Amino acid sequence: MHQGLSRLWPALILALFCLPLFVGLGRTDLENDEAIYSFAVDRILETGDWLTPKSSPDEEAAFLEKPPLKMWIVAGAIRLGLAPHDEFGLRFWDALFGGAAFLYVFAIGSLLAGPVCGAAAVLLLFVHDGLLFEHGLRSNNMEGALFLGYCGGIYHYLAWSRSVESARRSRHALGVALYFVLGFMTKFVAAIFLPLVLATASVAIREYRTRAFGDRRIWLKSGTLAGILIAPWFIYEQYRFGSELWRIILGAHVYTRFTTYVDPQHLHPWDFYFSTMSADLQRTGGAWLVLAGAALLAIRAARGHSPEAAVILLWFALPVGVISLGTSKLYHYAYPFLPAIALAAGCAPAFVWATLGPRLVPVLGAIHRRLRESAPWTAVTERPPVRLVLLSVSGVALILAAVTLIYSPVRIRWTGATLVRVSSSFRPAVAALVLATLAGRPQRVSAVALPLLVVSMLPLDAYRATLGRLPIEKHPMRSARDCVARVQRAGGREPGLYVNVPDDLMGHPLNYYFRRIRPWERINSPSKAGLYRRLYVEQQPVLVGEPWYQEFMRRLRSRDGRFIDELARAGGLDPAAIRAHADDASPPLVSFSDVLLLLPGPYAVCSPEGAGRVAAP
């Protein structure tokens, strides 16, 4: 491959896949687990207790579910002023880890079957819906760091196996160890499949077994360093909490999840990961690429032609097979193993590229000669005027194919009628080759037509759809919180929030966003009189469970005598005043699924319909 083009590949990966991860990063509210980890980051910054982050929603309870490395990284960047203390800053490292992982996937694909394989693999990961938008690489969760840990570890292992110099092998072994530390200190035993896959490859594959035995001291030193980096936090927390640490981090969040469940909604059948992956691949149109590429990898591995192919197959089959045996299943548990199926998919277009590249022009030339011999009338296509027309139409077909890659489908209309509609670059690229072959000049278009043919195999429509989703804004909690705080500051209103929400409805995002609207008046059991007073007398913002509030308003509007008497007695209120409010409309509100933020009086501007509708900060 031309040296200039080989240098261009990483720049393309960076521009097309890595940088877009940052687009719109702060435009959505934090979701459930994000709010837990962001709460821990906030409490680190508030208390200065870096060793033991706090567990949402308790301001002081220790968070012992996972080691705190990811929280340290996020909080450290904010403390040093390297990232803003907002949703973008909280998610910045996840996108950065994801981008670095994409570059590693490209590098692995280049080792495996060339840069076309690596680029196609990254594309398939980028359009995998969950990986980007559901607990994935653009959220303040643990998946970005773990994903990078696996991609970086696998790459450095493969690079170690290819390195001749001892110093280079030592550096790559160190890279494997450090990426294992990143994964383990971020998500504990979820990182254990990295050394398990590599150890299995080192035993099962002869080339790796021989080299690993020769480099056993290198690996022993790297493993020892990993242990030295991992041990101190566990020793400290063992000293502080004793067996409670292991009951939580290992018992509840590993053993219980694997053998029974923590949440019954996490129970799924054994094929959950396979069926979910298959559904997403079929949605994007990448399923056939995975099947074809996996077959190519399996053939190469079985014949012993590519030990790297065997490692990629192990990377997927071993971990996904094991986690499929567990009872509790969440799709993001499989994210670290998705690069393996993406790399398999990348082998299909890479095979087409490598097979057709050096053979396309000679084959087309042979076809042209055969036509001349079997059908002498085709000689007319080589007459200068006819050849010019054929090559001109071929050039137009190439332009149409290239435009289709960017704008799909392409329609050419005339007086309301559709003259041309092209949804894929494949047909115009093939047409260009056919026309150029008839003209006796296939070399004129093959250099452009072949890349277009290979690219047409890829899920480009899904890529465009993914780009369209990145800048979408959706932050009702943040906007409402910021508006309520401004109203209280600007209008001299009493600070605070009345919270009448059952614990099972008070999710972590609600706690994260509204914990700063203090003081809270938290009511654990429904209080009709308390709610009425906050809405119609004191006009204070209220968080309330939606089902209970709807029943409250139904009884108020129906002028239920017993209900009104209960309100009056419990709140020391005038029954006539209560009846006067029966015809009032419900206060403006913001809905957060089963919880409502009620915005009476001056707070009405904070509702979506309010005159002072809040814009994103």
- E-assigned strands of 415-459? 417-422
Looking at mean pLDDT, say which of 63-77, 272-286, 529-543 comes out highest: 63-77
Q: Would you say 486 and 516 are in contact if contact means Cβ atoms under 8 Å apart?
A: no
Q: What is the pLDDT of residue 180?
A: 98
Picking from 561, 559, 562, 567, the residue whose alpha carbon sits closest to that of residue 537 is 567
Backbone angles phi, psi at 52, to 5 degrees: -130, 90
CB 339 within 8 A of CB 292: no
Q: Check: CB of residue 442 under 8 Å from CB of residue 365.
A: yes
Categorize the per-residue pLDDT at 275 as very low, low, confident or very high, splitting at 50, 70 and 90: very high
pTM of the model: 0.90
What tens digit of pLDDT does each residue of 392-447 get? 877 777 777 777 766 666 666 666 665 566 667 777 777 777 777 777 777 767 77
Write down the pLDDT at residue 411.
66
The b/e string for 6-27 (b: 16+ C-beta within 10 A; e otherwise) is: eeebbeebeebbbebbbebbbb
Please state which of the ranges 256-260, 341-345, 537-541 shows the lowest mean pLDDT.
256-260
For residue 333, pLDDT over 90 is answered with: yes
Confidence of residue 535 (pLDDT cuts 50, 70, 90): confident
Type of residue numbered 144: G
Flag whether pLDDT at 615 surpasses 60. no
pLDDT digits (tens, 9 = 90+) for 82-118: 999 999 999 999 999 999 999 999 999 999 999 999 9
- 537: tokens are 């007398």
Please provide the average confidence, as pLDDT, over all residues in the chain.
87
Half-sphere exposure of 580 (CA within 13 A, CB side): 8
CA dist 508 and 63 (Å) reads 14
> Domain limits of the chain?
3-266, 360-469, 476-606
Give me the pLDDT at residue 326, please: 87
Paired sense of beta strands 410-414 and 497-500, if any? unpaired
Give CB contacts under 8 A, 24+ apart, made by 194-201: 194/149, 194/150, 194/153, 194/154, 196/318, 196/319, 197/154, 197/311, 197/314, 197/315, 197/318, 197/319, 198/153, 198/154, 198/157, 198/311, 200/314, 200/318, 201/157, 201/307, 201/310, 201/311, 201/314
Strand partners, 520: 497
The per-residue pLDDT for range 187-216, each reduced to its tens digit, is 999 999 999 999 999 999 999 999 999 999
- As a whole number of angstroms, the distance between CA 560 and CA 359 comes to 86
| Pair 88, 34: CB distance under 8 Å | no
Query: Contact 452/398 with Cβ under 8 angstroms?
Result: yes
On the question of pLDDT at 609 being above 70, the answer is yes
Greatest mean pLDDT among 208-217, 528-537, 602-611 lies in 208-217
Residue bearing the bigger pLDDT, 157 or 362: 157
Q: What pLDDT, in 10s, does the model give residues 435-480?
A: 777 777 777 677 777 787 888 888 988 999 999 999 999 999 999 9
pLDDT the model gives residue 31: 92
In the DSSP assignment, the letter for residue 494 is P
Enumerate residues 6+ apart whose C-beta is below 8 A from 156. Answer: 172, 173, 175, 176, 179
> Does pLDDT of 373 surpass 70?
no
Rg (CA), the chain: 31
At which residue do the structure tokens 């004191």 appear?
538
Cα atoms found within 13 Å of the Cα of residue 596, Cβ hemisphere only: 17
Average pLDDT, stretch 366-392? 71
What CA–CA distances, in Å, run from 384 to 288, 375, 381?
Answer: 43, 19, 8
Placement of tokens 């409805």 in the chain: 505
What confidence tier does 246 reach under pLDDT thresholds 50, 70, 90?
very high
Q: Is the Cβ–Cβ distance between 498 and 587 less than 8 Å? A: no
Gap between the Cα atoms of 383 and 103, Å rounded: 50
pLDDT mean over 177-186? 98
| No. of helices (H) and no. of strands (E), the chain | 28, 7
- DSSP labels, 131-163: HHHSSSTTSSSSHHHHHHHHHHHHHHHHHHHH-
pLDDT value at 389 more than 60: yes
**Residue 131 confidence (pLDDT) above 60:** yes
Q: In 10 A of CB 281, how many CB atoms? A: 22
